[in-house]
Structure 1
Amino acid sequence: MKLEMNKLMTSGTGIFIMGIAWLLFWIGPAFFLFEKDPRWGHNFVIPIVFMTVGLASHIRTTACDLTAVISAFVVTIPTLLALWSWETALILACIFFGIEIFLYLAERKAGEIINPGPGLKVWLKIHLLNFSYIGMLHMPLIFFISRWSNPGPFLTYLPVEHDIPTTIFNAMLFVLVPLAVMERYVKTLGGYAVSKIGFAWSVLMIIIPLVVINLAG
């Protein structure tokens, strides 16, 4: 049991849990904000991308990894650049998540659907998940580089988000992504397992914004 728990304490697991917690928060206590302004609907979308990437980190087949990469880029970037509505983004996010679940179940019975030659397969195993994390990294990049200083062009589909919890979450994502990539190559950092550091950091990304929200009243 301890061995299984150690395997689960990874950045990928943390990202998956974060996606679930984020989605539940907006379906539950924060739903009134969406009712007042539907532009907050992107908070139903990006959590599903997180869940897709987090799940792929444990399935680790080429088809599922590729699905996660596509979701991380195709859904995240246009959604946070306000190129389409949250409804469109939600449909796409759910489709990719559904495809990943389908592929996982199908490949358990039939084997890997995408099975390239050994050299390419190794390369894809190494890099696809990293690309997924890079896709996620566009969330804070867009937030701080574009939306923070100049929210005007995005207001059709996205609200102004200068609140402290959102800012903290985006800033912390700059740390989580390198940890998620690093854990695949480096076992320990300062005597601690990198995978556990990433998992702990992702849990803090849930706790700290919630604490700030409660303190702010």
Structure 2
Amino acid sequence: MSEEKNSKIEEQINQNKYLVGPGLGLIIIGLSYLVWWLMPFAFDAFFVDMRWAHNWVYAIVILNVGIAWYYKSPLSRIIAVFQAFMLPVTASGSFDTIILTYVSTFIAFLWVLTLLIEKIRGIEFLKERCSLKTRNWINLHTMVFTWILIAHISLVFLIGRLPLENQLLGFGTYAGYLANLPPESLEFATWAFDITLLAWAAIVIYEQIKLGYNYKNKPWPKFGFWWVFVCMGSSLIALLIQELTIGF
């Protein structure tokens, strides 16, 4: 019986060897997003309209949150929450997105610095002040909170900006939030990405609820991970459809 039990444990560890889950999915989205918006054609769009800089914020934050999933430390994950707060702020068009890009870059640097210090010291910040139960609670719920904040990219666009865009355009192309964000109601890729990203957030939160604290390190359900490719693929298809129909 003990051999069979050990075999099952080893099998679970092997299944979860590469830790495929929300973190890896976000890393793929974040890296793809960043690479795309560092391409020459993206810079051309940026130089024509600097308001497209909000995509750099999205890329940096999503990538940072994805990496944070792999490092369970209360302070680092609290920093990741502050990083994720940049998403609804950016999506709302409340501030200059160039400045927000610098802020998100600084927070990412702060996160990396925290990780390095903890690794060098060999002890996490707040470890002596937190019980194991509190540590686990913070690590789990901060990550869920970051996913909710990521979903706000979609929510703010669909509920906050979209209903007002035509009215604001009536006053000018830089009225209201358009001072910091470009009009996107006719951007098919934005629609596709935001709708599928909202679905992604719902999927991974549901998966987290099913797993709970996952003390046994069970493999993460793969549906949320594979949905990432639906997000990216649908956005590219939507971009192609836009090019073939109304153009950019």
Q: Do both share a fold (TM > 0.5)? A: yes
Q: Is residue 155 of structure 1 aligned with residue 178 of structure 2?
A: yes
In structure 1, the residue matched to 2:246 is none
In structure 2, the residue matched to 1:213 is 239
Correspondence for 1:34 among 33, 46, 49? 46
Distance 1:5 1:125, change over 3 A: closer
Correspondence for 2:201 among 162, 177, 183? 177
**How big is each residue's C-alpha offset from its partner over 1:60-87, in whole Å with a ceiling of 9 and x where there is no partner?**
21111101111111x1122121121112
> What's the secondary structure of 1:149's corresponding residue?
helix
Distance 1:125 1:43, change over 3 A: same
Distance, in Å, in 1 between the alignment partners of 2:44 and 2:221 is: 36
Deviation at 1:34, TM superposition (A): 1.1
Q: Which has the larger radius of gyration?
A: 2
Which shows bigger deviation, 132-141 or 175-184?
175-184
Distance, in Å, in 1 between the alignment partners of 2:92 and 2:209 is: 32
Which consecutive residues of structure 2, in runs of 5 or more, have no partner in the other structure? 1-12, 169-175, 212-218, 244-248
Distance, in Å, in 1 between the alignment partners of 2:220 and 2:202 is: 10
Answer yes or no: is the 8 Å Cα contact 1:182–1:194 preserved in 2: no
**How big is each residue's C-alpha offset from its partner over 1:104-133, in whole Å with a ceiling of 9 and x where there is no partner?**
222122211122223322321221111111
Tell me the TM-score normalized by structure 1: 0.89
Instruction: Tell me which amino acid in the other structure corresponds to 1:169.
Output: F
Q: Give the alignment of 1:80-159 within 5 angstroms.
A: 80-110=91-121, 111-115=123-127, 116-151=130-165, 152=168, 153-159=176-182
Correspondence for 1:58 among 53, 70, 85? 70
Tell me the TM-score normalized by structure 2: 0.78
Distance, in Å, in 1 between the alignment partners of 2:32 and 2:125 is: 31
Note the aligned Cα RMSD (angstroms).
Answer: 1.9
Answer yes or no: is the 8 Å Cα contact 1:11–1:195 preserved in 2: no
Q: Give the alignment of 1:180-199 within 5 angstroms.
A: 180-186=204-210, 195-199=221-225
Answer yes or no: is the 8 Å Cα contact 1:52–1:96 preserved in 2: no
Answer yes or no: is the 8 Å Cα contact 1:186–1:194 preserved in 2: no
Instruction: Tell me which amino acid in the other structure corresponds to 1:204.
Output: V
Deviation at 1:211, TM superposition (A): 2.5
In structure 1, the residue matched to 2:6 is none
Instruction: Tell me which amino acid in the other structure corresponds to 1:150.
Output: L
Deviation at 1:179, TM superposition (A): 2.1
Deviation at 1:6, TM superposition (A): 5.4
